[in-house]
Structure 1
């Protein structure tokens, strides 16, 4: 694959470009690579293919010409402040996100948000069509761009088009609430291959297609009318995403990171057990349920503050969306109440940190933590669970994992919990605290084997191999 006359044989399309714009002290601007698994997964493919990446540069009302960064050709799609408010904060994150996450928070349905979502998706489709070479492969990412596959197919029927949905796809009883359910499903069916995190997500999509259109389905294939009296085959199946295991393990083996993990324990008063939660501050993550369970263990004297400390990292998220503002207030009130009741001068009950950290500090936290708490109410995958496992080269530590996170399909040697069951979470916490070293090591070895076998390179390779096979039929 190669670049031909300013057009590219491989194009990735996502809401955001894989770089962040940085304004220097002298007023000049540079671009810095964004952290994240998607960039890590696709960077080798992009380099091999000399591909292009289409996305929003992250700042509204800024026009940016295509540019090169990190050996990638980047094609910015500009958005106004109003479009960011309606397309991204509105329809993507206040309509689709809560709906696709089992209506944990009620979704808002506004027609003006939908109209802007359509307009922005059309802009992304046009930008992708312009940079794609004849017969190119285009891989569209995530729920913000669900209309792009069909729009792109109408503009460029020569393309091979993939789509990957990084979040859950809901059961039809929930999905059917969306007033624009047919248009979204039609948008997705423009792809040749549609990837989901879990087999259950793919099954939910099959159900929606049958209910809405009556198309013939035989997993993993959907027969979609081609408009000329025939059919085209769309493949829809699970491709569980993962992480760059080697890079996390390399950081975790650095002497300075190991020493930082030791200092973290010391700074927390050297408790016997450190429990850790690492999440975006999002209502899908089950942070409140986790805090409630821990507070009850302290109240019941099942654990004591000097012996057990909970560290909760809650990185800021969508701070202009009302539901997220309310969530932050609720979480911080709960943390304050528990700390007021149970902390001592030398030992905090909960160390609550409302900001993000660089990778080295996160890895040190993973190494310092005896118990990792991933109690999401609903999650497409949850890569934090896999990051914790990848970092534990000492083959120690216990992972408590929600059965409603996609990672639960693979990480069966974790302690699986129903995050709505507070008593169940409490029992899992106590089991993790009391677990013998031999059992911890046995479980962690099995978890590490699984994460190594299914790393991020295998995810991208498996998806793209499927896409190439479909494209060559």
Structure 2
């Protein structure tokens, strides 16, 4: 089990995530070591951990491997071991085969398997136990994302002295969709172990509160949920220790229209839109080598008048097929011509062992081949498809090289690519075409907002973006940049933790 800090009191601030804040790397000389992960979450929280005796609990990325806790820089890292079976059932199974498609509006069909949920419960319990061991008395614990939705209640049972926050990085579905989940009550009870539950959008927070009200019968007032204390006591006679699938079969729930009598915990569920490390992106966009690289990219594409760019993880939620269909039809009807325009699509590999992702990859590659074969010229490509992951320096160069950014996700918690594109613009040029089904659409209102399911609307937005008056484009981008600069990822973390610190967790409610 993990150890406490050198004073023996544990750590005052603990982050719990599926992955640790570091990646295992092999150096050029053959030695191995650790390097800090480049993601925005680590960037936001690392400074807070360094100044507050922080620890990070998560899986270190290697199955069937047990590591002792270790320090990296000023962070204490607590590896949670996962077996190959855990990865298959907890991560690839329940997290990404059940929750991911269900929470993304069933764009793909979710699968429901009891042994997947049992693995999910078992791994969540392991995360909770490691966290309980390493947290100082009255510490603040921040649990991250959909893979760990049972941890808050499990942790509260183990350590009721803790202040617990949870943030859901992906959408939360409407109650009608969420009701399909056989273990819906277990997930709701798990999340309600937190004092503060954060979501990307106000609609996601509302969906959660409505699900709690409808399924659990708890009184909900504005953003506050009244949780009777006895509901958090686990049923230790159950093989699932308070997260019994049998309890999820009931449908008759008495919905309370008034606060419960006696003592209840108040749990707040509200939106805290995440953002990016704006300072790093803007600094990279000023580097001479990256500026030169952006110009080189345009030359490699044959110096078209307009470069369209899509950057996505290869996932069925990202709307890549819809984007390519719209582009292909614009080429077919002559609204756009190769040489005038070129599309670049970066699709980083994702879950390649999953059948639905393998089929999506094949379909995208066939579409790219068809467009290239019909419209490429000797000097100008119609489309450049890049099935790779790239370092942030290359991504910033791509953002700077692109005149139009196409973000056409069918459903997305936030979509930080849209914000990265805005941050990378050195001037006030560039146009963002943005799906209204992304969390980013709530903040980036000056983008060209579209319904990606409507291919004609998407085509019209692409045409408008390629011909937009420079003054209109400049005014829009100036507004977008102001929003992204003022609301970066550090402000997101600070806003969440400040609010978490204000909550007491238990209140007396008069009957």
Aligned 8 A contact 1:206 1:217 in 2: yes
CA distance in 2, matches of 1:431, 1:36: 33
CA drift of 1:70 comes to 2.9
CA distance in 1, matches of 2:358, 2:38: 25
Q: Secondary structure at the match of 2:152?
A: helix
CA 1:155/1:382 → structure 2, altered by over 3 Å: closer, same or farther? same
Aligned 8 A contact 1:4 1:133 in 2: no
CA drift of 1:393 comes to 2.1
Aligned to 1:265: 298
Q: How does 1:151-166 map to 2 (within 5 A)?
A: 151-166=154-169
Aligned 8 A contact 2:266 2:505 in 1: no
Aligned 8 A contact 1:171 1:204 in 2: yes
Aligned to 1:135: 138
Aligned to 2:47: 44
CA drift of 1:395 comes to 1.2
Aligned to 1:234: 267
Aligned to 2:107: 104
Aligned to 1:177: 180
1:231-277 deviation line (CA, Å, top 9, x unaligned):
00001000000011111000001011111000000010000000000
Out of 301, 322, 342, the position equivalent to 2:355 is 322
Aligned to 2:15: 12
Aligned 8 A contact 2:315 2:350 in 1: yes
Structure 1 unaligned segments of length 5 or more: list them. none
CA distance in 2, matches of 1:144, 1:322: 21
CA distance in 2, matches of 1:257, 1:23: 26
1:337 and 2:340 matched:
no
CA drift of 1:471 comes to 3.6
CA 1:128/1:302 → structure 2, altered by over 3 Å: closer, same or farther? same
CA drift of 1:457 comes to 1.0
Q: Which moved more, 1:145-154 or 1:57-66?
A: 57-66
Aligned to 1:93: 96
CA 1:232/1:3 → structure 2, altered by over 3 Å: closer, same or farther? farther
Aligned 8 A contact 1:162 1:467 in 2: yes
Out of 396, 420, 428, the position equivalent to 2:461 is 428
CA distance in 2, matches of 1:403, 1:379: 10
Out of 73, 81, 85, the position equivalent to 1:82 is 85
Aligned 8 A contact 1:33 1:70 in 2: no
1:22 and 2:55 matched:
no
Q: Secondary structure at the match of 2:503?
A: helix
CA distance in 2, matches of 1:168, 1:70: 33
Aligned to 1:378: 411
CA distance in 2, matches of 1:27, 1:274: 40
Aligned to 1:310: 343
1:218 and 2:251 matched:
no
Aligned 8 A contact 2:141 2:162 in 1: yes
CA distance in 1, matches of 2:138, 2:31: 38
CA drift of 1:192 comes to 0.2
CA drift of 1:133 comes to 0.5
Structure 2 unaligned segments of length 5 or more: list them. 232-261, 507-511
Aligned to 2:250: none
CA drift of 1:3 comes to 7.1
Aligned to 2:448: 415
CA distance in 2, matches of 1:278, 1:3: 44
Q: How many residues align?
A: 472
CA drift of 1:29 comes to 2.7
CA distance in 1, matches of 2:53, 2:294: 39
C-alpha RMSD of the superposition: 1.3
CA distance in 1, matches of 2:505, 2:89: 39
CA drift of 1:109 comes to 0.6
CA distance in 1, matches of 2:28, 2:343: 39
Out of 397, 400, 406, the position equivalent to 2:439 is 406
Q: Secondary structure at the match of 1:405?
A: coil
1:301-347 deviation line (CA, Å, top 9, x unaligned):
00001110000000001111111111101111111111111111211
1:103-146 deviation line (CA, Å, top 9, x unaligned):
00000111111110000000000000000000000000000000
